[in-house]
Each structure stands twice: as structure tokens, then as C-alpha cells.
Copies of this chain bind each other. A is one copy, B any other.
Amino acid sequence: MNEQLQPLKKQSRAGKAGRSGTQDDIVYAHIFEAILEQRLAPGTKLSEEALGEIFGVSRTIIRRALSRLAHEGVVLLRPNRGAVVASPSIEEARQVFFARRLVEKAITELAVVHACAEDLAQLRKMVEDERDSFSRGDRGAGIRLSGEFHLKLAEAAKNAPLISFQRSLVSQTSLIIAQYESGNRSHCSYDEHMQLIDAIEARDAGLAVDLMMHHMDHIDSKLNLDEESASDDLHAVFSHLLQTKGKSPRPAAKL
């Protein structure tokens, strides 16, 4: 484990949020991608020094990236105890989905009004990329691109606070999907995405919102949030025993 990337010349592919500017953006994007594509399992410890070696930067940069990830809820920052990949509980997942329905509805309505031709073109392109990923069998990239579609939709709605909130919600949703999706059904959201774009382009608010709500239902129904699925993560398994109020879940009883 002593290999490292070349000292981070501004790499092009930085997936999401790829403002390929400063170093911490790159680190951020890489970790983010790794988490969403499940190369990093929930609960995994994210050591600052290890990451620093891997990316060839100092802990300062890593720390900033982790801080951003923590803000978006995909990483849990425990004081004096380091960062771990978040493992949202069922209850947390429900809360995220509730908030998402709310936001997606508003975004859809706004997008019907504000989306310009270029927005729509970009959205279509993203859906195509998404379809390609799934047909290629790249589930991780598919989840990520599906998320980016919803984020782009928020941008088309032209409301800055909602965009930022949506970014956080989408990140967490992706993590939840990665964690809870029942494997037997393929995640084929691109079809619904395309219909949605059509409705928005037709400026049919009623239809667009309906489609979006059904889309949310579908995502929801693909998850087993009703029962605990088998997991190697004690926190997830025993999440109903944990306090959900404080940001640092600890066992309520000694395990």
C-alpha cells in the first residue's frame, strides 16, 4: 500500500462537482466517487495520513476535503476519532427521502418555468451517459450519473439555495441506494428521466411533477427500508438502538 498517485497534476476527470481547480476539489471528488461507487464501504475509516499519501498531498488538503464531505453527509467526522464513511440508518434514509420529495417537487415546478434550451440539451446528454453506464454494467457510475441528473435539474431551476441543498440530498441518496438497494432489480431510471425532460420541455408542470413523484416512488420501492438487510456493519444493523439526535451515533447500550 505504498503506491501513490502522481502528485495531482490537475486531473481532468473529477466526476461530480468537478471544478477541476484546487487540489482539495480533486481529492473531494475522488473520495466522493469512491464512496458512491461502493469501492469504499460504509463505516470504513478514512485516515488522514493514509489518504494524504495516496493522493500525494498533505493532511491539510485531506482535512478540507473530508470537511466538505462531512457537510454533505456522506462522511461522518467524529472529533478526535477521525472520519468514517457514513452509514445512514433506515430512519435517516427516510428523512432524506422526505426532504427530497419536497425539494424535487419544487425544483420540477421551477425548472418548467426556467429551464432554457441549453439546460435541456445538457440534461438529455446526461441521461444518455447514464444509460450507457448501466448498459455497460457499471452500476456505480450509473448511480452517480443518475444523481448528477437530479443535480443538473436543480441548476436548471435557477435557485441557489435549492441547488446546494439538492447536492447534499443527492449525495446522501446515492449512499443510501448503494447501501440498501435490493440487488435483483436493475436501476433503470434513465427512462423516467427522459420522460421528465420531455414534460419540462413541453412546459407541462402538472405532468412533470407527476412524473417526478412517480420517479421518487420507484426509487423508494427499490429499497428495502422496511426491514434491516444483512450487513457487516454493526452500526447499520443496530441503528435502531442508536441515538439519532446527536451527530455522533454511539451505542445506547454496551455491545
A-side interface residues toward B, CB under 8 Å?
21-22, 64, 67, 71, 73, 79, 92, 95-96, 98-99, 102-103, 106, 159-162, 164-165, 168-169, 172, 244
Alpha-carbon distance A84/B71, docked complex (angstroms):
21
Alpha-carbon distance A141/B161, docked complex (angstroms):
25
Residues of B within 8 A of A159 (CB): 95, 98-99
Question: Beyond A22-B79, A67-B64, A67-B67, is A161–B106 a contact (Cβ under 8 Å)?
Answer: no
Alpha-carbon distance A165/B160, docked complex (angstroms):
12
Taking a contact as CB atoms under 8 Å apart, the answer to whether B160 and A92 are in contact is yes
Name which residue of chain B comes closest to A160, CB basis.
B95
Taking a contact as CB atoms under 8 Å apart, the answer to whether B165 and A99 are in contact is yes
Residues of B within 8 A of A244 (CB): 160
- Further pairs besides A102-B102, A161-B168: 12, Cβ < 8 Å: A64-B67, A67-B67, A71-B71, A92-B160, A96-B161, A99-B106, A99-B161, A99-B162, A99-B165, A161-B165, A161-B169, A161-B172
Shortest distance between the CB of A145 and any CB in chain B (Å): 22
Shortest distance between the CB of A131 and any CB in chain B (Å): 28
Of the candidates B96, B102, B165, B168, the one whose C-beta lies within 8 Å of that of A106 is B102
Residues of B within 8 A of A106 (CB): 99, 102
Name which residue of chain B comes closest to A165, CB basis.
B165
Shortest distance between the CB of A103 and any CB in chain B (Å): 8
Alpha-carbon distance A137/B79, docked complex (angstroms):
39
Name which residue of chain B comes closest to A88, CB basis.
B160
Alpha-carbon distance A22/B92, docked complex (angstroms):
26
Residues of B within 8 A of A21 (CB): 79
Taking a contact as CB atoms under 8 Å apart, the answer to whether A161 and B22 are in contact is no
23 A–B contacts from the bound complex (CB under 8 Å): A22-B79, A64-B67, A71-B71, A73-B161, A92-B160, A95-B159, A95-B160, A95-B161, A96-B161, A98-B159, A99-B161, A99-B162, A99-B165, A102-B103, A102-B106, A160-B244, A161-B165, A161-B168, A161-B169, A161-B172, A164-B168, A165-B165, A165-B168
Residues of B within 8 A of A99 (CB): 106, 159, 161-162, 165
Alpha-carbon distance A92/B162, docked complex (angstroms):
12
Shortest distance between the CB of A234 and any CB in chain B (Å): 21
